[in-house]
């Protein structure tokens, strides 16, 4: 039995619940927190409490936000005519930091997954359709992940939205920048050839 | 510019300060905390505050503890005649979880490192020598890391302690269990050959 002081044990256990953090990493993080200044450790604890207290979902796009509607939905400079549909808030954050997209977003909070019992009613599909009702939106970019469920959800949305006279596009799939054709899997190569573009 | 809500941004920044946690991992951890229950997140925050409030150093062995002396030093069932010297509390925790050692510990809080200006006075060497004064200790196992500084510190301690008539040993160096001789570095192989034992 390890004779580690109980408060340290507790912290290690709590840290080990975080994704990608195993027992060894949790111990290392706990020791780092023990070595860091009291102020730094309290700052971290306060930040954790703060996100749980202040962050809610945007009632328009379901992004995580501390104001409602969120600052992307409120931003008059962003293009109201394009909505980019993503699976999770993390996808939205990644796309935002690429700086390419200047329209609005819609977070589905999941993908349709029959095997896991996730139906269209379990994710924010109805909420998306309601946003498309006002006739303002000209294009929906479906940026779900290029997985089986992500692709199926994209197809499902496309079948629902196209009849509304709105253009539906899928984010491009191909060889990632810095990737190596030799070591790229066959499906990606097939997609990359299919999706080739004129210069 | 990424338009992420400020409390989330703050949490990501704080998490990214942890060792081995980069920007992407910090985002993933922050999103996990956002998704987890309020109770779970508060538990984590409380654990962080709790270690900073309750954990101090044991005045005997300098282990991290919530009681003084620590529960290892207080434990009457552990062998008072053997002291295992380690660099950091993390080393002690790792050795404890191996369950092999049943003696007492002494945490140096560093190693002698002339290049970094760390002298024997900067680590708990004097405190170790004082513990050896009572004539109770029969063996000191030096379990500093097998690095240049760790080895030099081990040699330094050995030269100080041997004249007191106390046996000084060094934790074994060799091929780790599950390791592969083909891919083991030369120095380790040399040490493993040197340290070979009879069946």
Reduce the DSSP state of residue A127 to 3 states and report it: helix
**Structure tokens, B169:** 């040993």
- In chain B, which segments carry CATH 3.40.1360.10? 79-170
Where are any strands of DSSP class E within B53-151? 56-57, 64-65, 79-86, 103-107, 139-142
Residue A137 distance to chain B (closest CA, Å): 21
Instruction: Indicate if the pLDDT at residue B2 is higher than 80.
Output: no
Among A18, A43, A51, beta carbon nearest to B8: A51
Percent of residues, chain B, with pLDDT higher than 90: 72
Tokens of B86: 């380690």
Which residue has 């020598």 as its token pair? B129
B116-160, pLDDT tens digit by residue?
999 999 999 999 999 999 889 999 999 999 999 999 999 999 999
Kindly give, in sequence order, each residue whose CB lies less than 8 Å from that of residue B32, ignoring residues fewer than 6 positions away: A18, A19
Which of A45, A58, A98, A103 would best serve as a mutation to test chain B binding (most B beta carbons within 10 A)? A45
Q: Is A36 exposed, middle or buried (0-12, 13-18, 19+ CB in 10 A)?
A: middle
Nearest Cβ partner for A28 among B32, B33, B90: B90
Q: Which 30-89 residues of chain A touch chain B by CB within 8 A? A: 30-34, 38, 40-52, 54-55, 64-67, 70-72, 75, 88-89
Put simply, the answer to whether B51 touches A27 (Cβ < 8 Å) is no
Per DSSP, the three-state class of B142 is: strand
Chain B CB within 8 Å of residue A5 CB:
yes
Most confident of A90-99, B52-61, B182-191: B52-61
- Cβ distance of A55 and B8 shorter than 8 Å: yes
Q: Return the number of other C-beta atoms located less than 10 Å from residue B46's C-beta.
A: 17
- B25 alpha-carbon distance from chain centroid: 25
Reported ipTM: the value is 0.75
pTM for this entry? 0.74
Contacts of A29 (CB under 8 A, 6+ apart): A15, A21, B18, B19, B21
Whether residue A55 and residue B72 make contact (CB cut-off 8 A), yes or no, is no
Q: Distance between CA B4 and CA B30 in Å, rounded?
A: 12
For the stretch B29-54, pLDDT in tens is: 998 999 899 999 999 999 999 999 99
The whole-angstrom distance between A115's CA and the closest CA on chain B is 22
Quick one: CA dihedral A66, A72, A74, A77, positive or negative? positive
CB–CB contact B18 A29 (8 Å)? yes
Instruction: Establish, for the pair of chains A and B, how many residue pairs have beta carbons separated by less than 8 Å.
Output: 162
Q: Which CATH number fits domain A79-170: 3.40.1360.10, 3.30.450.20, 3.90.45.10, 1.20.120.80?
A: 3.40.1360.10
Say whether A71 and B3 touch across the interface (CB within 8 A): yes
> Regarding beta strands B56-57 and B64-65, do their DSSP bridges make them parallel or antiparallel, or are they unpaired?
antiparallel
In whole angstroms, give the CA distance from residue A76 to residue B180.
61
Residue A2: predicted pLDDT: 52
CA distance B172 to B80: 22
Q: What is the DSSP string of A70-124?
A: -HHHH-TTSEEEEEEEESSHHHHHHHHHHT---EEEEE-SS--BGGGTB-GGGTT
Quote the tokens at residue A158.
């496309």
End-to-end CA distance of chain B: 66
Alpha helix (H) residue ranges in chain A: 6-15, 23-35, 38-54, 71-74, 89-98, 125-132, 148-161, 186-194
Query: pLDDT grade, residue B104 (50/70/90)?
Result: very high
Chain-chain contact of A55 with B5 (C-beta, under 8 angstroms) = yes
List Cα–Cα distances, B186 to B151, B180, B183, in angstroms. Answer: 17, 12, 9
Q: How many residues does chain A have?
A: 199
Residue span(s) of chain A under CATH 1.10.8.420 come to: 6-53
- Rounded Cα–Cα distance for residues A109 and A91 (Å): 10
Length of chain B: 199
**CATH architecture under which domain A6-53 falls:** Orthogonal Bundle (1.10)
Q: Which residue is associated with the tokens 């730094």?
A: A40
pLDDT in tens, chain A (199 residues): 456 788 999 999 999 999 999 988 998 999 999 989 999 999 999 999 999 999 999 999 999 999 999 999 999 999 999 999 999 988 998 898 888 899 999 999 999 999 999 999 999 999 999 999 988 999 999 999 999 999 999 999 999 999 999 999 999 988 888 888 888 888 888 888 888 887 8
Residues of A in contact with B3 (CB under 8 A): 70-72, 75, 96
Q: How far is A46 from chain B (nearest CA, A)?
A: 7
């Amino acid at each position: 039995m390890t004779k580690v002081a109980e408060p340290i044990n507790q912290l290690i256990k709590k840290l080990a619940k975080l994704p990608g953090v195993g027992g060894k990493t949790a111990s290392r993080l706990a020791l780092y927190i023990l070595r860091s200044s009291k102020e730094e450790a309290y700052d971290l604890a306060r930040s954790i409490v703060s996100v749980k207290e202040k962050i809610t979902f945007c009632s328009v796009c379901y992004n995580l936000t501390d104001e409602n509607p969120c600052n992307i939905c409120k931003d008059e400079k962003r293009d109201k005519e394009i909505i980019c549909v993503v699976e999770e808030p993390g996808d939205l954050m990644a796309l935002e930091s690429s700086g390419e997209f200047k329209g609005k977003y819609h977070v589905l909070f999941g993908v349709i997954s029959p095997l896991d019992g996730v139906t269209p009613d379990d994710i924010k599909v109805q909420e998306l359709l309601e946003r498309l009702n006002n006739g303002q939106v000209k294009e929906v970019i479906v940026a779900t992940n290029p997985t089986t469920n992500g692709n199926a959800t994209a197809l499902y949305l496309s079948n629902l939205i196209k009849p509304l006279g709105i253009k539906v596009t899928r984010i491009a799939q191909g060889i990632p920048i810095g990737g190596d054709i030799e070591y790229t899997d066959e499906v990606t190569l097939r997609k990359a050839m299919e999706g080739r573009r004129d210069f």
